[in-house]
Every structure is written in structure tokens, then in C-alpha cells.
Amino acid sequence: MPPPPLEWRVEPGLTDYPAALGAMQARVAAIRAGTAPEQVWLVEHPPSYTAGTSADAADLVDPRFPVYEAGRGGQWTYHGPGQRTAYALLDLQRPHGGVPARDIRAYVIGLEEWMIRSLARLGVQGERREGRVGIWVAGADGRESKIGAIGVRVTRWVSWHGIALNVAPDLSHFAGIVPCGIRQHGVTSLQALGVAATMAEVDAALRACWMEVFG
């Protein structure tokens, strides 16, 4: 019997980070038990700094906002209003579109492709960079800035966490950390690039491009 269809959930308002962690953990257990379908959960968080499993304490420069242990891979990330965080809770024991079963590397590449295609729909060329996780934008001056972050965790082959795409956050808030441990490059957003996309328009691009990548 085929699995139930993926559920898309857009959370209104701001979701506290600890509440999101608890909700994801519960959903992962339910997916594993076969009592809930897979889910893509779209949220915005209050200003927060989250530490991945590779985070260096020295990269927390100014803890002006609440700090949380995320439990995902990666280093320091900022979450806040104007940033679309998309949590993908999937059973990776089965294939999803072009992503084969039980292949975490291919899954991460799929998340990158999802962001690249979504940005392209919004008129922005997002790019990968060797040795750097996430999606980058090259400016006319040659300066590279990060527009999308990726951090995942897989528990008994069910994925959680996901991506964070900068739509129109306060970019000054990133100054409290060294984002993803990378000091030599900046952070940007759709707004900073002159793209006046609403969150609903970003969500529509994400949903359309999800089908292209993950089926």
C-alpha cells in the first residue's frame, strides 16, 4: 500500500524554537510508527541563535537573543522573523523523486536543489560552493553571501530540521554569530537583493519546486 500523501503545514505567527523541536520529535516518532504522514512544516521563529553539533562556542559572538542546542548537523544559525524555515520530516527508507532510499548525502543535495530552483522562480541565481553547505549568491563586486542554510538530523531514517531561506530578515541580527563558522563571506536576503517577494510567494515557489525534486 502506498504511503499517505505528504502534508504541507504553514504555521501562522512566530513559533518558539523549543516548541518546534518538541513538535518535530513527536512527528518523527509518529512517522516512524506509521501513525502520521510525512510533513513539510513552514515556520518563522522569534530571533534565536541555534547551535548544531559542530558549533564552536567561540563563534557565538554576542548572545543578544535566546540560544538553543538544535541537535542538527552544522554550526551556528540565526532564525528570526522574515526568514522562512522549512522543516522536512520524511521517511528516508523509501525514495523521494530523484533521491534514493537511505542516502543522506543525496537527500542534502536534494535540499540544496530545492532551494536553488525555488530561488530561480523568484529571479535569483543561487549556487553551491565546494566545501560550504548552503546556498550562495555572487554579487556584482565578486563578494559571496549566503542566502540559504541547511541543517539536518536523521533519527532511525526519519529526517527532521531542514532549510532556512532569508526572505526579509533583519540581517544585522546575524552579527551575533559567525554563521556556519564562515567568517570571510556575508549573509544576504531576497529583500537585500531587491526582490520584494512575500512569504506567500516564497512558499508557493517552495511547494512547486518540492515536486520537481522530491516528487
Residues tagged active-site: 180
d(CA 191, CA 169): 8
DSSP-derived pairing of the beta strands 127-129 and 144-155: unpaired
Percent helix, strand and coil across the chain, each to the nearest 5: 30, 30, 40
Here the cell at position 11 is: 504555521
71 Ramachandran zone, left/alpha/beta (phi>0; psi -120 to 50):
left
Q: Using the Cα atoms of residue 4, residue 105, residue 199 and residue 31 in order, give the sign of their dihedral.
A: positive
Nearest to 135 by CA among 105, 98, 165: 165
Q: What does the DSSP 8-state code read for residue 180?
A: G
As beta bridge partners, residue 127 has 136
